[in-house]
Amino acid sequence: MGCRSSVSFPRLPRPRGMGRFGVSRFGVSRFGLLALLAALSAPGGARAAEAPDLAAYTTATFLPYLDAPLSGAPMTRPPSLGLSFGGRTVRAVMDTGSTGIVVAASAIPNLARLPNLGPGQLTYTSSGRIMKGTWIVTPVEISGTQGAQVTTRPLPVLAVTRVECLKSARNCRPRQDPRGIAMLGIGFARQGDHQAQSTPDRNPFLAVEGMGDGEKPGAVRRGYVVMKRGVQVGLTGQDAASFAFTKLARSTQFPDWAAAPACLSLNARAPDACGTALVDTGVSTMYVSLPPAQLQGQVTRDARGKPGLPAGATLSVKLGADGAGAAYSFAVGDAANPLAPLGVVLVPRGERTFVNTSLRFLNGFDYLYDADGGYVGYRPRQSR
């Protein structure tokens, strides 16, 4: 079944200045001026931008998560959707931190009869699990609640037959012929993180019926909007008017866009440390890399000697070129702040700055990815 008609979404208010939970957002009316200034200094070649031209697109499908939080409750665990390969539906984690469908081989009917592209693997660095198996080609039906669903064109799917572990694995057990594995990876710019095979042609949300292939546009714009209670597959003209956008640079190594920019500050130390960001719906823990100038005197060690940040330290996060997208802050360990991750892992990487926001970001913002145009967008959500 192809994409359904465009779903009407409520227009969210645009708060001025700082709102609840330390959230701030630049108004769209000022965004053109900010774009010119940010283009001169944005990290990674990205720049603040006017909205992409989505006026010609009217079709999108909203998939409510199978485990969406109750109204008024914060998001605390990875969202899930249903996957079907022509047989029973399996429950899969929708993961913006990886690219490609990864599923236990036993969950795919008639596996031996499907086109085979040879061996493959994908590593999840947050847990240290290495998924090994075979790339097969098949259409996939992806479903949410209330009967909502989309169907992809035939695309590569990793049928997992073995799980191995990195030496530095945080949560991994080697297994042969595993069961219960199902990941729906919809991220971009993930190839450099032990995912060299995770190119856009393996992204199911870029291969829905009606979409183009990156060379030729289709009737449905390739992209999505990730929200707290569900995901919109495809983009429409309404989206262009409600998000603050950053134009992405092209990857210099892969047929993909480069990672989105971000700037961080620990305890308001200046200047900000700027690098890249990953909005990751697959984890509730934040992973952070900061340069020594930001970390000086702020690194703690747990019982195993692993580095971390002290409870009460304040981390400010600005996403988008020159922060012209989404900005928020939280105190480490603040359980009352729905934007605060459930944990913070410090990953020392020299001068490199990086933040994996964790899924808790969605308690304050909606997140858009435009694969056809090369944009990310951020929109503050209502506190509900």
pLDDT at 322 over 80: no
Distances (CA, A) of 73 to 13, 183, 227, 362: 19, 24, 14, 12
Q: Which one of 6-20, 245-259, 314-328, 358-372 scores highest in mean pLDDT? A: 358-372
Query: Which of 241, 318, 221 is CA-nearest to residue 276?
Result: 318
CATH number at residue 41: 2.40.70
Q: Are residues 163 and 138 in the same domain?
A: yes
> Domain range holding 315?
16-58+236-384
- Alpha carbons 197 and 182: distance in angstroms, whole number: 17
Domain boundary among 217, 235, 253: 235
Q: Are residues 228 and 254 in the same domain?
A: no
Any domain includes 116: yes
Residues 233/94, Cβ–Cβ less than 8 Å: no
Q: Are residues 308 and 179 in the same domain?
A: no
pLDDT of residue 105: 95
Q: Are residues 107 and 122 in the same domain?
A: yes
Residue 250, beta-bridge partner list: 257
Structure confidence by residue, pLDDT tens digits, 37-66: 333 334 445 655 688 999 999 999 999 999
pLDDT of residue 197: 76
- Alpha carbons 22 and 25: distance in angstroms, whole number: 10
Sort strands 89-95 and 182-186 into parallel, antiparallel or unpaired: parallel
Joined tokens for residue 202? 């393996």
Query: Which of 145, 250, 264, 131 is CA-nearest to residue 188?
Result: 250
CATH number at residue 198: 2.40.70.10
Amino acid at 195: Q
Q: Are residues 81 and 53 in the same domain?
A: no
Amino acid at 188: F
Contacts of 17 (CB under 8 A, 6+ apart): 24
Any domain includes 314: yes
HSE of 380 in the Cβ direction (CA atoms, 13 Å)?
Answer: 22
Any domain includes 5: no
Q: Are residues 255 and 373 in the same domain?
A: yes
DSSP state letter for 295 = H
Any domain includes 1: no
Q: Are residues 268 and 168 in the same domain?
A: no
Any domain includes 293: yes
Q: Are residues 79 and 215 in the same domain?
A: yes
Any domain includes 10: no
pLDDT of residue 168: 76
Question: How many residues does the structure list for the chain?
Answer: 384
**What domain count does the chain have?**
2
Q: Are residues 324 and 374 in the same domain?
A: yes
Domain boundary among 184, 211, 235: 235
Q: Are residues 256 and 227 in the same domain?
A: no
The alpha carbon dihedral of 100, 102, 107, 111 has a sign of positive
Structure confidence by residue, pLDDT tens digits, 85-137: 998 999 999 999 999 999 999 999 999 999 999 999 888 877 788 999 999 99
Distances (CA, A) of 58 to 199, 314, 382: 27, 42, 24
What is the model's pTM?
0.85
